[in-house]
Amino acid sequence: MEKPNTNVSQASRIISEISRDPMGGWFDLPLKFNVQDMARLKITAQKIQANSKYLVCIGIGGSYLGHKAITEALKLNSPTKLLYVGNSLSSRELNKVIAEIGDDDFSVLVISKSGGTLEPAIAFRIFKKKLLEKYGVDGAKQRIYAITDQAKGSLHNEAVANGYTYFAFPENIGGRYSVLSTVGMLPMLVAGVDTVKLLQGARECREKQLAPENLERSALVNYAFTRHKLYTSGAKIEVLASFEPSMMYFNEWWKQLFGESEGKNEGGLFPASVIYTTDLHSLGQYMQEGQRGMLETFIKFVAPENYVDRVVIPQIDESLTIDANGKNKFLTLDDLQIVTGKTMDYANDVAMEATVSAHDRGGITTVTIEMRDDESQELITERSLGFLIYFFEVACAISAKLNGVNPFDQPGVEAYKNEMQRIFRGLPTEEEMEKAKQEALKKSKTAGPKAKKPAQPKEEPKKPATPEKPKDSGVKITA
């Protein structure tokens, strides 16, 4: 695809709007993270590392995906392992975490602005009970940490009443944009993430990509305008592709970021993701010859010169294949001479180059974002991830603004929550209430004059109705 017609003045205006938005508190975090907050976060992280083998992180959506994306992508060294619950209602997954903890020491970090979201609230109740059983009242209070609203909400009130150590969930930052705030910093510090380099990467992204003199050639701005151009031309899907399996949760964070920011008014590119080369053997056929109208965004990590994980594909020496009697007992018939002596990262790079080329020829528009950190011996670093986090946050906000939607709300998320409350309480649906209303109106019009009823004996109050069993909707297939 040809270079998008980036409107520099429009881009500049949108960036200014984002920075001044009431929910744009994340925009300046790389430059202005509060020093006192960081010092307190580090002290708290050290305390958790000193007394807990596990930190159970309770949260859903942006309250866990961002920091899990970072910690899963990096190779870290910490005495405390992060475990995650409260991101589903699966008792099976929760029991896996309980089993892993066993009798070892643990603490709990609950992240929720209000404390009222069902999934984390249930998990928190369960792990509060376990802390009380293991450590008693005072011990449990010392092992519960919260990130929540600084002034209101059930979790804030409980934290104050019980004396939990808690931090403010910034009121001007939404969950999906919160990874570089206190929401992400505390669990990342516990896991051993170098948050200084993480913020450095984000800061470098801002300085290089958003400087007024760089906007016309900014990869970030051009990416946002490319997405918008494709969307207005009829594209329906964007696929984020990585060739590193440890980026799986980064992909999940990215999907929430774009899905909640743009998926409004029955519009927006649908965000999907793949991990290649694995998914070339499952979705590769569809990507090559399935429906078009897709954008595929590749993240490429370039190995530094002194890459610590470089693996050479070996030649198997003949002496290794001969037994003690001098007879050949082992045959290698894999036909890998074409790559023998090459490195696996070279083979991975060739696979990516070939995939981009094949998909381009197949009619998919591709974008490649290349990351390289020569200050490290690692392929994926805090610095590069910080750059990518900020890159996608700003690009997403610009893209949503170009589409004419608010990047910082998510009204549709409440729909399923309201339905759950209705089912729990045994209440009828809106359709059922309307139907009952129409039937009652119909009866009142057709019925004759009513005779006065004799006085009836006073009845005992009825017990509350048992909540109805959830009704099936749509098509259900039972195996």
3-state helix, strand, coil in the chain (%, to 5): 50, 10, 40
pLDDT tens, residue order, the chain (479 aa): 456 678 999 999 999 999 999 999 999 999 999 999 999 999 999 999 999 999 999 999 999 999 999 999 999 999 999 999 999 999 999 999 999 999 999 999 999 998 989 999 999 999 999 999 999 999 999 999 999 999 999 999 999 999 999 999 999 999 999 999 999 999 999 999 999 999 999 999 999 999 999 999 999 999 999 999 999 999 999 999 999 999 999 999 999 999 999 999 999 999 999 999 999 999 999 999 999 999 999 999 999 999 999 999 999 887 788 887 777 778 787 889 999 999 999 999 999 999 999 999 999 999 999 999 999 999 999 999 999 999 999 999 999 999 999 999 988 877 887 888 888 888 888 888 888 888 888 888 776 555 555 556 555 545 444 545 555 555 544 45
Q: CB 440: neighbour CB atoms within 10 A?
A: 10
For the annotated catalytic residues, the residue numbers are: 260, 281, 417
How much is the CA Rg of the chain, to the nearest whole Å?
Answer: 28
How many Cα atoms within 13 Å fall on the side-chain side of residue 57?
A: 27
| Distance (Å, whole) CA 472 – CA 476 | 7
| Burial class of residue 257 (count of CB atoms within 10 Å of its CB; 0-12, 13-18, 19+) | buried
| Distance (Å, whole) CA 387 – CA 381 | 10
CATH class of 200-402: alpha beta
Specify whether the CB–CB gap between 134 and 126 falls below 8 A: no
Cβ neighbors of 55 (< 8 A, separation 6 or more) are 48, 80, 81, 82, 83, 106, 107, 108, 109, 187, 190
Q: Which two tokens stand for residue 210?
A: 């958003």
Which residue, among 358, 452, 394, has the nearest Cα to 18 in the 3D structure?
A: 394
How many Cα atoms within 13 Å fall on the side-chain side of residue 462?
A: 3
Every domain range in the chain assigned CATH 3.40.50.10490? 33-193, 200-402
| Strand bridging mode 54-58 / 237-242 | unpaired
Specify whether the CB–CB gap between 379 and 345 falls below 8 A: yes
Q: Is the pTM of this model over 0.85?
A: yes
CATH architecture observed for domain 33-193: 3-Layer(aba) Sandwich (3.40)
Which residue, among 455, 353, 419, 386, has the nearest Cα to 199 in the 3D structure?
A: 386
- How many secondary structure helices (H) and strands (E) does the chain include? 16, 9
